[in-house]
A and B are shown apart, each in its own frame.
Chain A
Amino acid sequence: MCNQTVSLVAAAIEDRGIPTVTIQLLEEIARKVGPPRALCVPFAHGFPLGQPGNAKMQRDIILEALALIDRTDLSPPHLSHHSTRSQKPEGRK
């Protein structure tokens, strides 16, 4: 349910002109809900930014997510996968 909850906030924020990016743990749900801009990560529920205590891994995920906001070639809703899983961003419509 968490994926839906944060996506609903993302929509409200984005609707007011502030860009957002949501981490998503379940691609199937992300596609159904459709947050404006999302990064799907290859981690289990409860571990959205990777390993506990692994500051570098968490930092990399955060920066990868925030960097999506700088992309000018994307269209909403946009779903990317964490780069170790796939280098190719994937758009949705």
Chain B
Amino acid sequence: MATLEELSMPVRLFLKAYPWRHIDPTPWAHASQPLNQSRIAVVSSAGFIRKGQKPFDDHAKGGDPSFRWIGQETPTENLMETHRSQSFDHSGIQTDPNLALPLRRLETLAKEGTIGSVNHRHASCMGSLTAPGKFTRETAPAIADELIQDGVNRVLLVPV
């Protein structure tokens, strides 16, 4: 498990003092399908964009609250990792984007029948959001509504 102690002192102090949003009440949904009949989508906060997509705005105050759709068929080499934080080692997700957006792993799981299917697209956002008001009000509901339209049954969310 990562710990706050592995981060630099300024980052630790910021995180200690930060007013974390607390989800209350906690929503809770049950599986409607067994795993081998479920359509899976991923939400990654690693800041991936597909080559040619508009980059996230690194200078947005409080962080860029927008998101991008990444197609399941996107070749790994066409993914660009653009997470703006310098407080973690980016080498792993740059070497293997599946670490935070597991397109090829889900592809394998679907082919072998362990999961029902992989959704045709996944949501990518910039996790480094210190002011998540607009993200909470607009982006998160938009992602959720679209994934429901896609017929997704389960969602895996991956931070970095």
Residues of A within 8 A of B (CB): 1-29, 32-37, 40-53, 55, 58-59, 62-63, 65-67, 69-70, 72, 75-77, 81, 85
Query: With A1-B128, A5-B135, A47-B99 known to touch, is A10 a contact of B157 (CB < 8 Å)?
Result: yes
B residues 27-86 touching A (CB-CB < 8 Å): 27-31, 34-35, 40, 43-46, 63, 85
A27 touching B30, Cβ below 8 Å: no
Closest to B94 in A: A52
CA distance A64 to B68 in the complex (A): 27
Closest to A58 in B: B105
CA distance A70 to B2 in the complex (A): 26
**B29 CB contact (under 8 Å) in A14, A27, A51, A63:** A14
Which residues of chain B have C-beta atoms less than 8 A from A37's C-beta? 28
**B24 to nearest A CB, angstroms?**
7
CA distance A33 to B20 in the complex (A): 6
**B26 CB contact (under 8 Å) in A8, A19, A24, A76:** A76
Query: With A45-B89, A49-B102, A58-B105 known to touch, is A18 a contact of B154 (CB < 8 Å)?
Result: yes
